[in-house]
Amino acid sequence: EVRLVESGGRLVQPGESLRLSCAGSGFRFNGYAMYWIRQAPGKGLECVSYVSGGGFATYYTDSVKGRFTVSRDMSTDTLYLQMNTLRAEDTAVYFCAKGRNSFGAFDIWGQGTMVTVSS
Amino acid sequence: EIVLTQSPATLSLSPGERATLSCRASQSVSDYLAWYQQKPGQAPRLLIYDASNRATGIPARFSGTGSGTDFTLTISSLDPDDFAVYFCQHRSNWPPTFGGGTKVELK
């Protein structure tokens, strides 16, 4: 079964850091681009970051550039999102998703992990 | 960034009826458009990719058409399981963006 499982979300204070993880299974993990997509409570979807299959290319949405870093560990089939200097507006459910192909539609999603930034 | 505008915001229909959802892009996205279904508390599920291709396991009652800036998702006969929110998303360039969603609710 193709599966993605996120973890690491919790309540943090503004300015703190957090690392999210996403474990993949059931597919050739390093063969596909991976994404982090977030959804603020009651809001729409926003693509936060992209990492290529080989891990060499990354992209970020403007609001997180310089604060978030995406990476992947090929040895453990795990995707990471290091989030620094968190702000209240980063509060959201964070999903990891597999690209159908390079820059493709998101065909497999994890269940999501909730990040709350509040004092 | 490309803005996707979905209409209507809410569609009130009964099981068995036809649902027609629209997505308009602020500039051409060719056929690089996908549709997703999301139910409360769940992750989105891919329905249609590249404007008209059904994803694996998606029933034939779901179909997508369009290219350039105007796209349509049609559900030919609503099943009780289809009442949900539907999002469109482009992959034409970075960042891929989503529309604001159309809620298909029970009339």
The pLDDT score that the predictor gives to residue B70 is 98
Summary mean pLDDT of chain B: 97
Q: Region A64-81: what's the mean pLDDT?
A: 96
B68–A contact, CB cutoff 8 A: no
| Partner-chain contact A103 B91, CB within 8 Å | yes
- C-alpha–C-alpha distance, residues A68 and A71, integer Å: 10
State pLDDT tens for residues B23-33. Answer: 999 999 999 99
The pLDDT score that the predictor gives to residue A104 is 83
Encode chain B in three state secondary structure.
CCCEEEECCEEEECCCCCEEEEEEECCCCCCCEEEEEECCCCCCEEEEECCCEECCCCCCCEEEEEECCEEEEEECCCCHHHCCEEEEEECCCCCCEECCCEEEEEC
Residue written as token pair 């269940």:
A111
Q: How far is CA A3 from the centre of its chain?
A: 15
The pLDDT score that the predictor gives to residue A102 is 74
State pLDDT tens for residues A28-43. Answer: 998 899 999 999 998 9
- Give me the total of CB pairs closer than 8 Å, taking one residue from chain A and one from chain B: 51
Q: How close is the nearest chain A Cα to the Cα of B102, in Å?
A: 11
Chain A CB contacts of B89 under 8 Å are 45, 105-106
State pLDDT tens for residues B51-82. Answer: 999 999 999 999 999 999 999 999 999 999 99
CB B52 within 8 A of CB B37: no
